[in-house]
């Protein structure tokens, strides 16, 4: 009978811990930072970069990276699209 209670309590504990996991992950998502000319960039490792569209205008882009301390950042900046030609 004691073994049955131990299994029930262990099962409830595992379920409670599983419910908390998504909250921890959501809190670790970094805020999106806006780039300015005075922004100090400390990029140790690039995780991902957004695709630059094939248009001839300034478009928003994002880069996700880790800094030299291992902290994750998401930086939004403006870039000229890839659709312009000189001819």
Instruction: List the one residue out of 53, 54, 64, 62 whose CA is nearest residue 28.
Output: 64
Return the SS3 of 75.
strand
Q: What is the pLDDT of residues 32-55, one digit of tens each?
A: 999 999 999 999 999 999 999 999
Position 5 scores a pLDDT of: 66
Query: Which of the pair, 51 or 12, is modelled with greater confidence?
Result: 51
- pTM assigned to the model: 0.64
Task: Quote the tokens at residue 78.
Answer: 């403006």
Give me the CATH code for the 2-80 domain, please.
Answer: 2.30.140.50
């Amino acid at each position: 009978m004691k073994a049955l209670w131990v299994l029930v309590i262990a099962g409830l504990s595992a379920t409670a811990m599983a419910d908390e996991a998504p909250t921890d992950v959501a809190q670790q998502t970094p805020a999106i930072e806006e780039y300015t000319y005075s922004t100090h960039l400390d990029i140790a490792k690039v995780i991902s970069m957004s695709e630059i569209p094939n248009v001839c205008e300034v478009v928003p882009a994002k880069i996700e990276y880790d800094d030299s301390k291992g902290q994750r950042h998401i930086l939004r900046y403006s870039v000229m699209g890839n659709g312009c030609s000189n001819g």
